[in-house]
Structure 1
Amino acid sequence: MNLTLKWWRKMSSKEIIECRRCGRKQGIISRYEINLCRQCFREVAEKMDFKKYS
């Protein structure tokens, strides 16, 4: 169980992560320290070797 949740870390209320590409503060994908919003991730996912399965 700990291995599957190892990437998750609690953020303090002062720590706000924003998108590296556009600066948005909502909808951030922080897993694997990508730090991209959902919209930017969809645009660059194939360049980062992520595959869409559905």
Structure 2
Amino acid sequence: MEKKSNKLAICRRCGTTTGVITKYHLYYCRHCFREVARRIGFKKYN
């Protein structure tokens, strides 16, 4: 039986593996995402 290799998602900005947002192929951790969200086109609605 072959063993699956689990590839960890890494933050493209700081390199951490915890709390990484992979949806829409973002690959930013939640901390970095809050800092760069405006620059990459996300808007905050109330």
Shorter-chain TM-score tier:
0.7 to 0.9
Whichever of the two has the greater Rg, that structure is 2
Give, in whole Å, the separation in 2 of the partners of 1:25 and 1:34: 13
After the TM superposition, which parts of structure 1 deviate over 3 Å for at least 4 consecutive aligned residues?
none
| CA-based RMSD | 1.4
Match of 1:4 in 2: none
- Identity of aligned pairs, percent? 49
1:43 is the counterpart of 2:35: yes
**Structure 2: runs of 5+ lacking an equivalent:** none
Within the candidate set 14, 25, 41, 1:22 is matched to: 14
Count of residues paired in the alignment:
43
Give, in whole Å, the separation in 2 of the partners of 1:26 and 1:53: 26
- Amino acid across the alignment from 2:36: V
The DSSP-based 3-state class of the residue aligned with 1:52 is: coil
**Structure 1: runs of 5+ lacking an equivalent:** 1-11
